[in-house]
Amino acid sequence: MNQPPAPQGPSQRQINIELPPDLEAIYTNFAMIGHTPSEVIIDFVRLLPGNPRAKVQVRVLMTPMNAKLLLNALSENLERFEAQFGPIVIPQGGNIAEQLFHPPQPPQ
């Protein structure tokens, strides 16, 4: 009796993703993250120096699983970025405006 061949690994499904030519890129430099039991909410904000007000530019909602997958994808990509361009320095102390608008000094 013949059996069907065993699968050769996880099935690969190809997805065609369309990037509209008129898609506007939005610059943000701050994110606020919240969650409910069923979703993670990320509000992307643009803070400008000298302006005490900031407006949410984009709100993204996703499942906790998709947020975890995004975290993994960001980690992998940042590791590759740092391997190519050097470490990303995160400023310590000070307030958020100081951290965002005064670049860190390179280590001496």
| Each residue's pLDDT tens digit, 20-48 | 999 999 999 889 999 999 999 999 999 88
Q: Output the pLDDT for position 69.
A: 97
DSSP state of 12: P
0.85 exceeded by the pTM? no
Q: What is the pLDDT of residue 91?
A: 73
Q: How confident is the model at residue 97 (pLDDT cuts 50, 70, 90)?
A: low
Asked whether 37 and 90 are in contact (CB, 8 A), the reply is no
Q: Which two tokens stand for residue 20?
A: 């509209």
With a CB cutoff of 8 Å and minimum separation 6, the contacts of 61 are 39, 40, 41, 42
